[in-house]
Structure 1
Amino acid sequence: MNKLNNEALMNISITPPVPLGSYPAEDVTFLLKDLSNVSLERATAEREEAIQSGVHYSEMLPVEYQPTEQYIDLFHETLGQSAEKVALAVAVVSELIVAKRGLEKVVLVSLARAGTPIGVLIKRYISYKYAVDLPHYSISIIRGKGIDVNAVIYMLQQHGLDADLQFIDGWTGKGAIRQVLIEACESFNNKYGIRLNDDLAVLADPGYCSGTFGTREDYLIPSACLNSTVSGLMSRTVLRDDLIGPDDFHGAKFYQEWLDTDVSNVFIDAVCAYFDTAAEDGQPAAEVMLQAPPEITWAGLRDIKSIQEQFGIDNINLVKPGVGETTRVLLRRVPWKILVDTMDNPNLRHILLLAEDRGVPVEVFPGLTYSCCGIIKPLKGETE
C-alpha cells in the first residue's frame, strides 16, 4: 500500500515554480503561484469587516502599509542595535537543526512570509559554518486551511521521499501556526504514508511552544516591522478556489514596483556580518539546550486566555501576542488597544511609535509572558 502511495505521489503533476521575490535565486525558491497581476487588496476597515463576517483572511490581501520616513529610520536604527543579537539567535537555532538533523538530507522549508528571511539567514549560517549549501524553499501555510500540500509533494519529488524537511518560521505568538503544522503533518501521513517531522524552528519563541529556537526573549526582530519590503517583496499568501487550481501552489504577489525601497537583502547582510562572533557563542548555547531540552509549556496561551476573560473577547484570533504580531496588528488590522508588560520596555519603542501614529491606546498589563499584545477591535457586540 505504501509503495503504491509513494509511486503515485512521485507522479503527481504540479505546476513548476517561477522566479519570484527579491532575494538572490540561490538563497530561496518560492513555491508560490504568481498572482502579481490580480487585484486582491482591500482597505483595512473593509478587510477587517470581511474577516469578522466569516471571509477567510487568505482570500484577500491587506493594502501594504508604506512606512513613514520616521518608521524607516527606526527600522535602520533597530537593525543596527539588534543585528548582532539576531545573528546569535540564528546561530543557536541553526546549530540545533544541525545537531538534531545532521546535514545529509535536510531541506529548509520557510513558512511564508515571516519565516522566509529567517530561513535565508539559517541557510547562510550553515553555509558559512559547515560549507554545506542546503536547499531552501518558502511555502504557504494558512490558519484554518493547512499547509500547501502541492509544495510539500514538489519538494519530496525534487529531493526524495526520505528528504528531511525542517520547517522554519520567524517567531511564535500563541502557537496557532505550530498547531496547524502538527495537524498538517498528521494529515499528510494519513494520506500518503510519509511521516514529516513537525518540529518548527523559530528565531524567537516567546509563546513557549517550540523546542527549536534561538531565544525566548520577545524583542523586535527587524524583519517583523516592514512587511513585504523586508520579506523579498512578497505579499502574504493567498488561497482562493477561483485563482488556485489543483496543480498549483498557493498564491502570492511579487511587488516589483517597490524594488527601490526594498531592504530585504540589507537585513540579511547586516545580520550575516556578525556570524563570526555568533558562531563562537551559538554552538555552546545550543549544546546547553541539547543537554537540557527547554520545556514546551504553551505559557503564552495562558496569557491569552486571561486577556480574553478580562476584556470579554470571545474570539481568540482577535488577541495577537508578542512584538511581531502586535506590529502586524498596528500595520494591517483595526487595533482596539495595545497591552504592554511595562511602559519602559526597550523592545517596545516602535510599538509605541506606531500606536501614537494611529491613535491606539496603550495599557499596562502586568505579568505578561510577552512584551506586548495587540487586541483587534471586535466589530460586533463590542463592549468597552
Structure 2
Amino acid sequence: MKCDAPKTIRHSYDPEDVTFLLTPVEITPTDVKEKEYLLQSGRVHYSEMISEERRPDARYMQIYENSLDRHLSRIALDIVRIGLKIKSEIDQGALAPRLSLCSLVRAGVPYGVLLRRVLVKLNVNVVHYGVSIIRDRGLDPVAMDYVRKDRPEADILFVDGWTGKGAISGELKKAWREISGQDPRLVVLADPSGHAWLSGSHEDWLIPSGILGANISGLISRSILKSGLLQPGEFHGAMTVDHLADMDRSQDFIDRVTGMFDTVLETALPAEQSIEGAQHLRERAASCVDMIANRYAVENLNRIKPGIAEATRAVLRRRPRIVFLRDAKDPDLEALVHLCRQDGIEMEVSAQVTGPYRAITLIEKVS
C-alpha cells in the first residue's frame, strides 16, 4: 500500500527527482577543533554534532568547474552503463520490474538522481529516495520501513558515490541483513576498494561532486541523530544549508550530465561485474590502510580517509595530520593540493603508500 507523502526537509532538487526521508532539525554548530576532540575521546558520536560547512573560495569553485568539464562525459557514460546493466538484470528476471533507489545521504544523492533519470529513459518503473546511514548506528529503520511499505513489490538498490575503505558498505550490509535478511545491492560510480555490487569502474578518480558538500547535494547537511532532537517514529534529521545557496551547483550538475545521456546511450555497453576482481581490490585496499595504521600507530581506522573524495572532505571538515598523494601534479588532485597549501597541511608523495588510491588523508590524533 502506497504511503502518504512524508513531511521532509527543504532542498534544491526538482521534486520528482528525489524524496528525502529526513526530518528537518536545527542544532548549534560545533567548532571543528572541539568536534575533533569530542569524536576521538569517544564522548560524542559524530552524528550528534555538525560544524558549519566551509565556504569554498573562488579558486576552489573554479577547480570544481574545470574538473566537471574534464569528466562530464565519463560521469554520463558510467551512469548509463550502470543503468543498462540494471535494465539487463530486470529483463533476465534477476531484479523485479519495479525498483526503489535508496541513495545514502548525502554523497549518494546526486548519483541516485542521475541513475533515476537514466532508468526512466530505459522505461524502468523507478522511484528515488534519500535515506540516512550512520556509521555505528546503521540505516534509518523508519526510512527503510517507509520505503518498503510505499513500494512493497519493488526491489531496493542502494546508491552511493564511491567506496573508500569499506566502512559504510560494511555498515550497510550489517543493517540491511538485520532489516531484510538479505545482502544489499550497493551501486556506486567508483569502487576502488571492491565493496559494491555494481559500479562504473574500480578506479579512484575525481568525481567532481566529491569535492563539494551541500552545494552539490541539494543544499542539505549530512544526517544527524541526536537524543532528544527527534521524536519516536521520525526519520533521521538533517539541516538545510542556506549559507551556500548562492553557490549551489546541485541542479546544474544534474542537468549538465543528463544532457549527455541520449548521445551516450547510442553506443554504451552495460557495466560488468567481477566477484574475483572485487576480492583482489578489497585485499589491496586493506593492505594500504594497514600500512598507514602501522606506520603511525593508528588504533582507530576511522582516522584514515582513503580515496580522492574522502581525502578532500576530511581536509574540509576535520583536522588532518598528513595527506598522501600518488602524484602532486595529478590534475584530479588539484582541489586537495589547493586546500593543503591554503591550510598548511603536510603532504607526502608516495605511490607505494597510496596503493590503489590516488590520495589518502590521515586525521590528527587529538586525544
Instruction: Give the TM-score range, shorter chain.
Output: over 0.9
Judged with a 3 Å threshold, the aligned counterparts in structure 2 of structure 1 residues 281 and 361 are, in CA distance, closer, same or farther, namely: farther
Q: What displacement does 1:20 show?
A: 2.5
Residues 16-35 of structure 1: pairs in structure 2 closer than 5 A: 16-18=6-8, 20-35=10-25
Q: What displacement does 1:99 show?
A: 2.5
Q: 1:248 and 1:198 mapped to 2: Cα distance?
A: 23
Instruction: Return the letter of the residue paired with 1:264.
Output: S
Residue aligned with 1:240, SS: coil
Query: What is the aligned length?
Result: 358
1:183 equivalent in alignment to 2:174: yes
- Report if aligned partners of 2:97, 2:124 keep a CA contact under 8 Å in 1: no
Q: What displacement does 1:257 show?
A: 4.6
Judged with a 3 Å threshold, the aligned counterparts in structure 2 of structure 1 residues 256 and 313 are, in CA distance, closer, same or farther, namely: same
Q: What displacement does 1:103 show?
A: 5.9
Q: 2:313 and 2:236 mapped to 1: Cα distance?
A: 22
Which residue number corresponds to residue 217 of structure 2?
A: 231
Q: 1:14 and 1:280 mapped to 2: Cα distance?
A: 39
1:345 equivalent in alignment to 2:334: no
With normalisation by structure 2, the TM-score equals 0.92
Q: 1:291 and 1:15 mapped to 2: Cα distance?
A: 39
1:170 equivalent in alignment to 2:153: no
- Report if aligned partners of 1:123, 1:133 keep a CA contact under 8 Å in 2: no
Residue aligned with 2:114, SS: helix
- RMSD over equivalenced CA pairs, Å: 2.1
Q: What displacement does 1:292 show?
A: 8.1
1:85 equivalent in alignment to 2:74: yes
**Equivalent position to 2:356, from 359, 366, 369:** 369
- Report if aligned partners of 1:14, 1:247 keep a CA contact under 8 Å in 2: no
Instruction: Return the letter of the residue paired with 2:196.
Output: S
1:310 equivalent in alignment to 2:295: yes
Q: 1:49 and 1:296 mapped to 2: Cα distance?
A: 35
Q: 1:243 and 1:308 mapped to 2: Cα distance?
A: 36
Residues 63-142 of structure 1: pairs in structure 2 closer than 5 A: 63-101=52-90, 102=95, 104-128=97-121, 130-142=122-134
Judged with a 3 Å threshold, the aligned counterparts in structure 2 of structure 1 residues 327 and 97 are, in CA distance, closer, same or farther, namely: same
- Report if aligned partners of 1:185, 1:198 keep a CA contact under 8 Å in 2: yes
- State percent identity of aligned pairs: 35
Q: 1:294 and 1:132 mapped to 2: Cα distance?
A: 29
Q: 1:21 and 1:293 mapped to 2: Cα distance?
A: 40
Which residue number corresponds to residue 279 of structure 2?
A: 296
- Report if aligned partners of 2:303, 2:364 keep a CA contact under 8 Å in 1: yes
Which residue number corresponds to residue 202 of structure 2?
A: 216
Q: What displacement does 1:127 show?
A: 1.7
**Equivalent position to 1:157, from 149, 155, 158:** 149
Q: What displacement does 1:138 show?
A: 0.3
Which residue number corresponds to residue 323 of structure 1?
A: 308
Residue aligned with 1:140, SS: strand
Q: What displacement does 1:349 show?
A: 1.3
Judged with a 3 Å threshold, the aligned counterparts in structure 2 of structure 1 residues 281 and 49 are, in CA distance, closer, same or farther, namely: farther
1:252 equivalent in alignment to 2:238: yes
Which sits farther off after the overlay, 311-320 or 111-120?
311-320
Q: 1:48 and 1:115 mapped to 2: Cα distance?
A: 25
Q: 2:164 and 2:267 mapped to 1: Cα distance?
A: 26
- Report if aligned partners of 1:112, 1:236 keep a CA contact under 8 Å in 2: yes
Q: 2:296 and 2:9 mapped to 1: Cα distance?
A: 46
Residue aligned with 1:344, SS: coil
Q: What displacement does 1:82 show?
A: 0.9
- Report if aligned partners of 1:233, 1:255 keep a CA contact under 8 Å in 2: yes
Unaligned runs of 5+ in 1: 1-9, 190-194
Q: What displacement does 1:345 show?
A: 2.6
Deviations 1:105-141 (A, max 9, x none): 210100000000010010111122x133510000000
Q: What displacement does 1:346 show?
A: 2.9
Which residue number corresponds to residue 29 of structure 2?
A: 41
- Report if aligned partners of 2:9, 2:239 keep a CA contact under 8 Å in 1: no
- Report if aligned partners of 1:206, 1:369 keep a CA contact under 8 Å in 2: yes
Q: 1:256 and 1:360 mapped to 2: Cα distance?
A: 29
Which residue number corresponds to residue 39 of structure 2?
A: 51
Q: What displacement does 1:223 show?
A: 0.9
